[in-house]
Chain A
Amino acid sequence: MEDSDKLWSDRIPPDILGSIASRLVVGEYFVFRVVCKQWRLAPLMPPSHRPRRLHDDLQLPYLMTLHEKTGIVEFFDPVYNVVTTHNPGSNLKTDSLFSMRNGCMVGKPKGFAGGIAVGEDLRLCRDCWTFSVGEKEGDWRKKDGAAAWRRGWPSPSIAALFAGGGREGRGWPSEQQLDSPGVKAGGVYGGEGRGDGEECSPEIATW
């Protein structure tokens, strides 16, 4: 084909590119966007436009970005690469939880530096995705980690953001804890260096 060098840039329909991009996770998606203009502009497929699949019944992860200065929060769904932005405005509590949306809890643990809560250490842990925060390579383990996932997607019934030690095997709540009666939508757990699932006493704003 004489113009085979344009197949994947100019001739590929944007929605197909978007469908491919939506299957990448975090880091790969950043690489994807640097490839060329078409790829950068590819529309991402929101989950609702995609067929329900088996893994949709698992807890899905959300990564949270907190822009400390503006108080704007971004939820990043690493499965579908969808970012939604929310501005909780004056309800922002800088050292604890501040909002809840669609059953998804957002919290900000004490000592968390803010900024992008997307780490390179995205790994599967107890049937749920967890992630850690790190400003540069090598130091994420010293930072607080945070994990959020939603249960019962796409009709979320309970979700919580957990914060705690970034070390593997420590600080992550077990399924049992999640299912225990004491855990409810609206509960928030975390805090610097604790990561033991202990409940904070945050204020909750709903929007």
Chain B
Amino acid sequence: MVKLKSNDDKEFEVEEAAVIQSEMIKNMIEDGCATSVIPLPNIDSKTLIKVIEYLNKHINMGKAAETGEEDDLKEFDEQFVNMGWEELFDVIMAANYLNIHELMELCCQSAADRLKNKSVRAVREMLKITNDLTEEEEQEIINDAPWAFEGPEIDDTVN
């Protein structure tokens, strides 16, 4: 077992087989740099719990393919990314820091899926982004492909 410590000083025990899906921790263990408790100063306990949940579920990914549990894993992934934008941001940053490739892929894909067909206004509102482009800069891009900004498929809702 490997102990991980979040930045709010909570410790979590994780099986080594699960935790080595993190390239960063795998390297630490291989290089003999892993202390009895690995501190993760960039990750809070709420996010770490999510990440560990993912690691534990994906521990036997290779096996899942053999035993036909892929659908189960897919369903888990779908449920897993069912979170708000702020939480998704935290998990992406944690996955990036820990270097968990599959989790990064999953989260980035989820972010992209949520942006599909959204209007610019909706994206800004959902992600709390302030527009800092000048009107000219904005218009320049719109003029490149005006068809991308109009049409019945454009979704202006913020769900």
Residues of A within 8 A of B (CB): 1, 4-9, 11-13, 16, 19-21, 23-24, 26-37, 39-40, 51, 116, 118-120, 134, 136-137
Q: A8-B89, A12-B89, A40-B137 are in contact. Are A118 and B145 (CB under 8 A)?
A: yes
Known contacts: A7-B86, A20-B111, A28-B116. The answer to whether A35 contacts B128 by CB under 8 A is no
Interface residues of B (CB under 8 A from A): 85-86, 89, 92, 96, 101, 104-105, 108-109, 111-112, 115-120, 123-124, 127-133, 137-138, 141-142, 144-145, 147-151
- Residues in B with CB closer than 8 Å to A120 are 147-148, 151
**B-chain residues with CB within 8 Å of residue A24 when the two chains form the complex:** 112, 115-116
Contact between B128 and A40, CB atoms less than 8 A apart: no
In the complex, number of A-B residue pairs with CB atoms less than 8 Å apart: 106
Cβ-neighbour of B96 out of A13, A20, A137 (below 8 A)? A13
Q: 14 additional contacts, CB 8 Å, given A9-B129, A30-B148?
A: A8-B129, A19-B104, A20-B108, A20-B112, A23-B108, A26-B145, A28-B116, A30-B141, A31-B148, A34-B138, A35-B123, A35-B124, A39-B129, A51-B101
Interface centre among A6, A36, A37, A39 (most CB of B within 10 A): A36
A4-B128, A36-B132, A40-B133 as given contacts; A30 in contact with B89, CB under 8 Å: no
Complex contact A33–B141 (CB within 8 A): yes
